[in-house]
């Protein structure tokens, strides 16, 4: 079946540090890949997505590249801010399946200290 | 454009009761999906509705059910509540097309309904 594995947190960084959150996936088909972010007390917000191999998704300084050869979609940001503190979820949607169904990783808590 | 709205935001029930949660999608969106979020199991897909029909279903018992109305608004119902049903229930909507465009669409999430079962 389909699954997503994320690095365990929490990840604690100082402001302006470089961020990497690892994400790997297993899929029977050819998935689209997503990063969602959840701030305290809120729902999920789409951060970025990529729908085919070698695509790079980017938004608000965050980037992730769809690597089919390593089945990975690692999230990176060059300089984090305190406001980036949140839970980050990697997810996939398998295009072999009809309709919409996201499979999520366990989530990675990011804490940024000033 | 208004986002996805969910009501109520918080709910306290006791074991054995039933509960109904409501979700209003973004205007024009035709697909509504439901997810359960718990500390132990993470985010899990419950079901998806499109054009008033269930299009996808996750691995949850029959106590969990849903429906979609002609205006795309959706409700989910949990009967005979158990302590383990305590969770954040998230609703997501997407534009969708009858062809499915499986996996390519972005789902937009609401703020969730936090259910506590005592």
Instruction: Note whether B109 contacts A32, CB cutoff 8 Å.
Output: no
Can you give the pLDDT at residue A101? 86
Residue A95: the pLDDT is: 66
- How large is the average pLDDT for residues A10-29? 95
A39-70 exposure pattern, b = at least 16 Cβ within 10 A, e = fewer: eeeebbebbbbbbeeeeebeeeebbbbbbeee
Taking 70 as the pLDDT cut, the residues of chain B under it are: 1, 97-104
Which has the higher per-residue pLDDT, A67 or B101? Answer: A67
For residue B118, with 0-12 CB atoms within 10 Å meaning exposed, 13-18 middle and 19 or more buried, which class applies? exposed
Q: Cβ A99–B43 below 8 Å, yes or no? A: no
CB proximity A57 to B under 8 Å: no
SS3 assignment, position A84: helix
Q: Is B45 on the interface with A (CB under 8 A)?
A: yes
Mean pLDDT of A74-79: 98
Question: Is the sign of the CA dihedral B117, A41, A38, B107 positive or negative?
Answer: positive
Residue A14 pLDDT > 80, yes or no? yes
pLDDT value at position A105?
Answer: 96
Element (H, E) at B107: none
Q: Answer yes or no: do A100 and B110 touch at CB < 8 A.
A: no
Residues A105, A37 contacting (CB under 8 angstroms): no
Chain A residues touching B108 at Cβ < 8 A: 46
Q: Kindly compute the dihedral angle of the four CA atoms of residues A55, A103, A83, B106, in this order, to the nearest 10 degrees.
A: 60
CB pairs under 8 A between A and B: 84
For chain A, what is the mean pLDDT?
93
The model's pLDDT over B42-76, given as tens digits with 9 standing for 90+, comes to 999 999 999 899 988 999 999 999 999 999 999 99
Q: How many CA atoms lie within 13 A of B8 on its CB side?
A: 9
pLDDT in tens, A24-52: 999 987 889 999 999 988 899 999 999 88
* Contact between B22 and B75 (Cβ < 8 Å): yes
Which residues does chain A have within 8 Å of residue B104's beta carbon, measured at their own beta carbons?
A: 32, 51, 93, 95
**For position B98, what pLDDT does the model report?**
55
Q: Which of residues 62-101 of B touch A (CB under 8 A)?
A: 90, 92, 94, 96, 100
pLDDT of residue B35: 97
Kindly report the nearest CA distance between residue B107 and chain A, in angstroms: 8
């Amino acid at each position: 079946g389909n699954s997503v594995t994320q690095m365990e947190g929490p990840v604690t960084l100082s402001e302006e540090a470089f961020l990497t959150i690892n994400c790997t996936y297993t899929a029977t088909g050819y998935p689209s890949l997503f990063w969602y972010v959840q701030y305290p007390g809120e729902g999920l917000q789409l951060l970025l997505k990529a729908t085919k191999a070698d695509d790079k998704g980017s938004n608000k300084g965050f980037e992730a590249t769809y690597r089919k050869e390593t089945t990975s979609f690692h999230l990176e940001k060059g300089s984090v801010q305190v406001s980036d503190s949140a839970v980050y979820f990697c997810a996939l949607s398998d295009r072999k399946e009809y309709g919409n169904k996201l499979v999520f990783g366990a989530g990675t808590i990011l804490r940024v200290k000033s | 454009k208004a986002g996805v709205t969910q009501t109520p935001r918080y709910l306290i029930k006791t074991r054995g009761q039933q509960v109904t949660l409501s979700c209003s999608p973004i205007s024009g969106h035709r697909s509504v999906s439901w997810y359960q979020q718990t500390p132990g199991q993470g985010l899990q897909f419950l079901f998806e509705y499109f054009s008033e029909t269930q299009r996808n279903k996750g691995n949850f018992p029959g106590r969990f059910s849903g429906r979609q109305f002609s205006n795309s608004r959706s409700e989910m119902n949990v009967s005979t509540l158990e302590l383990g049903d305590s969770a954040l229930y998230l609703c997501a909507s997407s534009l969708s097309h009858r062809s499915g465009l499986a996996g390519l669409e972005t789902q937009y999430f609401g703020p969730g309904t936090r259910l506590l079962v005592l």
